[in-house]
Structure 1
Amino acid sequence: MLVKAAGPAWDTVVRGWPVAVALAAAGLMGLGWWGAREVRRRRAHAALVEVLRLPLSQIDALNDEEFEFALRDLLVRDGWTARKVGQKGDQAADVIGQHSQRGRIVLQAKHTTVGGKVGSQVMYQVKGTAGPVHKADFAVVVTNGGFTRDAKAWGERHQIHWVDRERLRQWAEDGVPLHALLRLPARKPRRTVVRRAA
C-alpha cells in the first residue's frame, strides 16, 4: 500500500518541481531585496549621522531658537518628518514630528545653562497640551541641562519622556536615534473610516 501511495505522490512532485523551484527562487529574491534595502537604509542613516553630529559644547553655545532648529534637524536625521513650531503661545510644543511607524511626537525644548535644571512645572504643561492640543502619541522634554528628581519621576509616571544632558549627548553626538534612545514603540496604523454615499 505504501508503494502504491508513493507512486502518485512521486508523480505529483515530478510534475510540480518547476513550481516549487520558482517559489523558492522568488523567496530567495525577496530575501535578497529586503536585505539590500536594509543595508542601504543603515548606510543612509550612518551618512546622516556623520553629517549631523552635534557635540554638547556646540549645543551649549546655541540660543533658544537655534536649539529648537537643532532638535528638528536631529529628528529629521532619525527619519521623522519634523518642523519647528516654537514661538510665543506655542502651548508647550517647539518641534512636532511625524513618523510612519511611530506616529506623532511633540518636543518641548529647554535650553539652559549646563548646571540648570528643568522642574515639574514644565512636565505639567506638556502633559496638558501634547495629547489634547497637538494630538501627540509621544511627548518629550529636551534640555542641555538636567531635570529635578521630581520632574523625572512625574514624567515617568505620566508618560512624558525626558532627555537630559547625557541622553542628549547620546542622541546628538553618538547618533542614537531618539526613538531607540527612549524605546518608543511602533504604533498601530490608525484606521480610516470610509463612508459610503447613500
Structure 2
Amino acid sequence: MGRKRVRLRRPRGAAEFLSAAVVALAALVLAVRMAAAAVGALKDGWPFLLILVLLAGAVGAWRIARTVRGRRRDAVRRAALRITLAEFDAMDDRQFEYALRDLLVRDGWSARRVGGSGDQASDVISDHTQRGRIVVQAKHTRVGGKVGSSVMYAVKGTAGPAHRADHAVVVTNGAFTRDAMAWGERHSVHWVDRDRLRRWAQDGTALHELLGLSARARRARFKRAA
C-alpha cells in the first residue's frame, strides 16, 4: 500500500488563524535575523573575501598566460621544424607517423595521427580550411626499400568512402616502384618518395605546394571510384 499524501488544510476559526500568523511571523523574523547575520559576516569578513577573489583572479590569469605562452612556443617550434633524412631513417613506424603529423601542422593543417589496428589505410588525417581533407599513408622502410602498387590500391579504395578525403598521399623514406608511381599519377594518389620528403621536411616546402594540391577538387573522384 502506498503512503497517504499529507494535505494541508486552511486554518479554521480565529484561534487557528492566530496560530498560523504567529508561525509565519516567527519564520519571517528568523529569516530577517539570518539575512542580517549574513550581511554582518560579509561586513566583517570582506577583506578576507576580497583577498580570495583577487588570489583566484591572479591564479586564473597566470594559467591563461601560461597557456598562451605555451601555444606561442609550439607555433614557433613547428614553424621552424626541420627533419633530416637521417633522422627519418632512425625512426620507427610510430615515430615516423608522428613526424609527418607535425610537418602537416607546420604547414597550416589541423592534423592528427590515426595509425594503428584498423586504420583503413590511413596513418594521419589532416584538415585545411581551403584545401579540405588529406589522408596520409606512412610507409617507413629501411634505406633502399620500395613501396609497391598494392599500397596505392588500398589508399585509393578507402580515402573517399572511409575518410571522406579530398586528397590521398603515400609517404615513404624510401622509394616507389615505377608501377606504383604511374598508377598513383593516373588515379590521383599522390606519392612522396625520399627526394620529395627531403624537400618537404628538410628544405621547408609545404606539402600542398610540393604536390600542387588544389582546393577540394578530388572528393567526388574518390567517391565515384569506390
TM-score, shorter chain, exceeding 0.5: yes
Partner of 1:94: 123
Tell me, yes or no, if structure 1 residue 123 matches structure 2 residue 140.
no
The 4+ residue runs of structure 1 with deviation greater than 3 A are 46-50
Partner of 1:59: 88
Partner of 1:181: 210
What are the ranges of 5 or more consecutive residues in structure 1 without an aligned counterpart? 1-45, 191-198
Question: Cα offset for 1:58?
Answer: 0.4
Question: Cα offset for 1:52?
Answer: 0.9
**1:98-130 deviation per Cα after TM superposition (whole angstroms, max 9, x unaligned):** 000000000000000110000000000000000
- 1:158 aligned to 184, 187, 203, which one? 187
Q: If you compute each CA radius of gyration, which structure gives the higher value, 1 or 2?
A: 2
Is the Cα contact below 8 Å between 1:102 and 1:185 reproduced in 2? yes
Equivalence map 1:1-198=2 (5 Å): 51-187=80-216
Partner of 1:27: none
More helix by share: 2
**1:35-76 deviation per Cα after TM superposition (whole angstroms, max 9, x unaligned):** xxxxxxxxxxx9556631001000110000000000000000
2:188, 2:109 → 1: CA distance?
Answer: 20
Question: Cα offset for 1:185?
Answer: 1.0
Is the Cα contact below 8 Å between 1:94 and 1:106 reproduced in 2? yes
1:186, 1:119 → 2: CA distance?
Answer: 28
Q: Give the paired residue count.
A: 144
1:114, 1:47 → 2: CA distance?
Answer: 31
Is the Cα contact below 8 Å between 1:56 and 1:169 reproduced in 2? yes
What are the ranges of 5 or more consecutive residues in structure 2 without an aligned counterpart? 1-74, 220-226
TM-score, normalization by structure 1: 0.70
**1:135-192 deviation per Cα after TM superposition (whole angstroms, max 9, x unaligned):** 000000000000000000000000000000000000000000000000001237x9xx
**Secondary structure of 1:93's partner?**
coil
Code of the residue aligned with 2:165 in structure 1: it is: A
Question: Cα offset for 1:79?
Answer: 0.1
1:49, 1:109 → 2: CA distance?
Answer: 20
Is the Cα contact below 8 Å between 2:84 and 2:202 reproduced in 1? yes
Percent identity reads 70
TM-score, normalization by structure 2: 0.61
